Amino acid sequence: MSDNRAITASEGMSKAQLDAIIQTVCNSVQSEHTQRAYARALREFMAWYQDQHQPSLSKAVVQAYLSHARAEGMGVGAYNQARSAIMRLVREAVDNQAISEQIASGIERIESLKFTGDRMGNWLTLEQAEALIKTPDTSTLKGLRDRAILAVLIGTGIRRTELAALTFEHLAQREGRGVSVDLVGKGSKVRSIPVPSFAKGCIDAWAQASGISSGLVFRHINRGDQIASDKISAQAVYYLCEQYSREAFGDQGVVQPHDLRRTFAQLSRKGGARLEQIQLALGHSSIQTTERYLGTKLDLEDAACDRLGVHINGF
């Protein structure tokens, strides 16, 4: 049977068809982060699907996979992301006449899971944030660039995709301070973000050493410590954060760019910043998102358990 022939629901889909559909699904979203997440989720689904000897794709099959994933420890966020990826896969399968609209409608009725409680992520203390920014070797061009990248991520809370797209034209002075103006973020939302003096100073040092004053702020640097292209990828920023945090804190202290975004929020809040100002800087659509992001309802410095009054000798 030819791979490009329409397949009925009872026959299942060939691997070649599914691979092509997965690629189409990933191409249907603009965010590089979402593309990688969907590709990973669909590869995991397909590995399980093939282990089941490719049964007919149906609501029962998708539910069985999601139940299996939860039993294996998949969190709520990963579950919902996997579900969204599979829903897109199903819709593409319909468009390719691989399954019927009726079967697709049944699969699409599978509901997402709701978050319960306050989610907590990873972030750095003030001392750790300062130590991380100081980790790159600033005797090199790459080190100056990398220090500026870490300083901007921690100092502004922008996403790595936003950082990769940051230009000198975005940087301006407003009311006596540095500001990144008209930055286009997630969902094509435009916002302006104050830039702290330490981050601006690191950018200036990199700009002076590199001789760059227009266009993209951060560029790719080759092994010879020379600028090799006009842009740095968001994935390179991801690896950079892992590299320097491992160097600064060891294998157990590795952080990712989103952890530095959360660090910005946490340190700002502890420093007395107003919640709505943090919301505006992060580009969150609602204050509730920022509250959940910060975990403001859970105080780790003055926790409820610290007020119990229980004392055990030796502890």
- Please, how many CA atoms are within 13 Å of residue 144, restricted to the half-sphere of its CB? 20
pLDDT of residue 185: 54
Q: Give the three-state DSSP class for 23.
A: helix
- Which residue is listed with tokens 């189409």? 24
Percent of the chain with pLDDT over 90: 26
Q: Quote the DSSP letter at residue 167.
A: B
The more confident residue out of 217 and 172 is 217
H-only helix segments in 172-301 = 197-210, 234-249, 257-270, 275-282, 287-294
For the chain, give the number of residues. Answer: 315
Q: What is the mean pLDDT of the chain?
A: 79
Identify the three-state secondary structure at position 243. helix
**Cα gap 176→38, rounded to integer Å:** 43
Q: What is the pLDDT of residue 265?
A: 87
Query: Poorest-confidence range of 1-5, 69-73, 291-295?
Result: 1-5
Q: List C-alpha distances in Å: 278 to 41, 121, 148, 263.
A: 31, 17, 21, 12
pTM (2 d.p.): 0.59
* pLDDT given for residue 110 in this prediction: 92
Rg of the Cα atoms in the chain:
23
Q: Helices 15-27 and 32-51 meet at what angle, rounded to 10?
A: 160
pLDDT at 79: 86
The per-residue pLDDT for range 242-270, each reduced to its tens digit, is 999 989 988 878 899 989 988 988 888 88
> Residue 6: what pLDDT?
33
* Model pLDDT for residues 140-198, shown as the tens digit of each residue: 999 999 999 999 999 888 889 889 988 888 776 655 555 554 566 565 666 777 888 88
Measured CA to CA, the distance from residue 168 to residue 101 in angstroms comes to: 49
At 100-155, the pLDDT tens digits run 999 999 999 998 887 654 444 588 888 999 999 999 999 999 999 999 999 999 98
228 has a pLDDT exceeding 90: no
Of the listed ranges 7-21, 94-108, 214-228, the one predicted with least confidence = 7-21
Task: Give residue 121's pLDDT.
Answer: 59
Which pLDDT belongs to residue 11?
41
Q: Once rounded to an integer, what is the mean pLDDT over residues 268-295?
A: 79
CB contact at 8 A, 183 and 193: yes
Residue-range domains of the chain with CATH: 15-108 (1.10.150), 126-294 (1.10.443.10)
Q: What is the pLDDT of residue 204?
A: 92
User: How distant, in Å, are the alpha carbons of 12, 75, 80, 312 from that of 146?
Assistant: 49, 32, 34, 47
